[in-house]
């Protein structure tokens, strides 16, 4: 069993490199007492060009971080990040912490008790909880920001707590199960009550914060990005935990305007076994005005052409300035018709291309996980799946992201070093710019 406070990034590293304790999922003992940090924290910033459904791009901020031991494994199983920037960065942040986006330590959450109940009261934790844009379960891990305790059904749902909230009725980016024993805040436990490894919905603030309203006042579709076959190893079956959805792409884009200047990331991590004291590790990065004035072009929405044998072609037009792009498709399992006991997660597929311009990329027909007989499922469902499994409907999600830095090379399992290259230039100085297509989600397609 994998401990419930182990992040998807920790799991990926453990699966690849093995646990230093010899037991997968056992939290390493805490021995740091204010001395050297348990690993190296890296930070890169850049622009994030996000395609909106209305056809106009929004340019936000991209943040890339790694917090790893020298062998590439994540440095901690829990930490609380604070991202601060130059004046006018995150202009909608609460006034008590200007120019920053921050979270709550698990100790604060424990003191606060049920955050949902407290947030509806004008108590001592009201202002502090409302001001948290990262919930206590979000940390900086082996490759990017991610929840480190995945029991809830949604990783970063925007919670609205009534007109008394000074931030436009927005609690922040918090897991729906901030304290897992409380279920989903309405007294309901998750329908599939098992560990799942879920990424943040991106871009951050796309669910309503900090600008208020649906999608933060923007026409940007929230999306969870996972790497899968053929670019990454299989994400289900073949010894991989059932709930492991895919490998992190490492980027976190924010719906907040990029501001030229120096950014600082601070991570508070427990320095004793019962998490009553904390140490901090910091990293900084510079976003120059030249980068802000020349973001990457918008990434056009890709097109999927599903073939009768279960394969598919993805037509993409990779913008100029992109050095590598990742095309992502996720689909419902093709044996869905026989899955009566539990709803298994969608399959994640990804292709990496290092060419710009128009191209057709191919997903072969049998990239899916094994069925109950050990036979690989079709990548996209077809008439044979309807006959064999009784599957009558199928859906896919589709999107693409372009980078001007080695995003794929820094991801697991491609990189298991302590300080992978995460910027353009020499990999450690420079920027990390991206451009993201507007995702297509829950698109139904016929079983042909």
Of the listed ranges 140-149, 361-370, 439-448, the one predicted with least confidence: 140-149
| Strand arrangement, sheet containing 278-287 | 100-102, 80-84, 261-270, 278-287
Question: Does position 122 have pLDDT exceeding 80, yes or no?
Answer: no
Exposed/middle/buried for 39, CB within 10 Å: 0-12, 13-18, 19+?
A: buried
Q: Which of left, alpha, beta for 205 (phi over 0: left; psi -120 to 50: alpha)?
A: left
Q: Which pLDDT does position 413 carry in this prediction?
A: 94
String of DSSP letters for 237-275: BTTB-TTB--B---EEEESS---SEEEEEEEEEE-STTS
Question: Does position 295 have pLDDT exceeding 50, yes or no?
Answer: yes
**pLDDT band, residue 245 (cuts 50/70/90):** confident
In 203-240, which positions are buried (b, 16+ CB within 10 angstroms) versus exposed (e)?
bbbbbbbbbbeebbebbbbbbbbbbbbebbbbbbeeeb
Non-local (6+) Cβ contacts of 67 within 8 A are 39, 40, 41, 42, 74, 75, 76, 79, 139, 140, 141, 142, 267, 281
Tokens of 186: 């309405």
Mean pLDDT, residues 301-311 taken together? 97
Of the listed ranges 291-300, 367-376, 431-440, the one predicted with least confidence: 367-376
Of the listed ranges 29-38, 81-90, 406-415, 424-433, the one predicted with least confidence: 29-38
**pLDDT band, residue 308 (cuts 50/70/90):** very high
Q: Scan for tokens 């924010």, then name that residue.
A: 254
Exposed/middle/buried for 16, CB within 10 Å: 0-12, 13-18, 19+?
A: middle
Q: Which of 278, 256, 290 has its CA nearest to residue 99?
A: 256
Kindly calculate the radius of gyration of the chain based on its CA atoms and give it in whole angstroms: 21
Of the listed ranges 73-77, 112-116, 190-194, 327-331, the one predicted with least confidence: 190-194
Q: Which residue has the higher pLDDT, 212 or 313?
A: 313
Q: Which of 442, 431, 194, 179 has its CA nearest to residue 289?
A: 431
How many residues are present in the chain?
448
Collapsed DSSP state (helix, strand, coil) of residue 66: strand
Q: Which residue has the higher pLDDT, 106 or 166?
A: 106
Question: Does position 102 have pLDDT exceeding 60, yes or no?
Answer: yes
Question: Does position 187 have pLDDT exceeding 90, yes or no?
Answer: no
pLDDT tens digits, 322-343: 999 999 999 988 987 776 545 6
């Amino acid at each position: 069993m994998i401990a419930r406070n182990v992040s998807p990034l920790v799991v990926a590293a453990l699966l690849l490199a093995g646990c230093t304790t010899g037991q997968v999922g056992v939290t390493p003992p805490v021995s740091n007492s204010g001395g050297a940090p348990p690993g190296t924290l890296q930070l890169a910033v850049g622009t994030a060009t996000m395609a909106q459904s209305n056809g106009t791009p929004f340019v936000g901020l991209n943040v890339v971080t790694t917090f790893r031991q020298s062998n590439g494994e994540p440095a901690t199983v829990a930490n609380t990040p604070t991202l601060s920037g130059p004046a006018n960065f995150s202009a909608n942040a609460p006034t008590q912490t200007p120019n920053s986006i921050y979270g709550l330590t698990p100790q604060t959450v424990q003191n606060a008790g049920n955050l949902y109940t407290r947030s509806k009261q004008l108590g001592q934790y009201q202002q502090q909880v409302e001001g948290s844009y990262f919930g206590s379960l979000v940390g900086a891990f082996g490759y990017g920001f991610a929840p480190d305790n995945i029991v809830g059904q949604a990783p970063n749902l925007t919670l609205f707590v009534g007109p008394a909230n000074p931030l436009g009725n927005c609690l922040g980016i918090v897991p729906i199960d901030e304290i897992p024993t409380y279920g989903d805040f309405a007294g309901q436990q998750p329908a599939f009550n098992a560990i799942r490894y879920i990424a943040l919905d991106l871009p951050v603030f796309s669910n309503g914060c900090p600008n208020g309203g649906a999608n933060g006042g923007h026409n940007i579709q929230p999306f969870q990005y996972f790497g899968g076959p053929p670019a990454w190893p299989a994400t289900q079956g073949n010894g991989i935990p059932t709930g492991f959805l895919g490998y992190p792409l490492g980027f976190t884009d924010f719906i907040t305007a990029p501001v030229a200047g120096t950014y600082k990331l601070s991570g508070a991590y427990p320095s004793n076994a019962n998490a009553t004291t904390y140490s901090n590790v910091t990293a900084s990065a510079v976003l120059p005005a030249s980068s802000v004035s020349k973001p990457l072009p918008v990434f056009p929405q890709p097109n999927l052409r599903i073939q009768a044998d279960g394969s598919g072609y993805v037509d993409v037009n990779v913008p100029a300035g992109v050095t590598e792009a990742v095309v992502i498709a996720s689909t419902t399992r093709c044996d869905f018709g026989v899955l009566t006991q539990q709803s298994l997660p969608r399959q994640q597929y990804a292709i990496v291309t290092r060419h710009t311009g128009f191209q057709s990329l191919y997903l072969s027909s049998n990239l899916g996980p094994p069925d109950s007989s050990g036979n690989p499922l079709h990548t996209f469902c077809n008439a044979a799946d309807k006959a064999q499994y009784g599957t009558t409907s199928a859906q896919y999600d589709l999107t693409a992201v372009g980078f001007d830095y080695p995003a794929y090379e820094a991801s697991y399992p491609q990189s298991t070093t302590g300080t992978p290259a995460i910027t353009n230039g020499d990999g450690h100085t420079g920027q990390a710019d991206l451009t993201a297509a507007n995702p297509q989600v829950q698109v139904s397609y016929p079983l042909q």
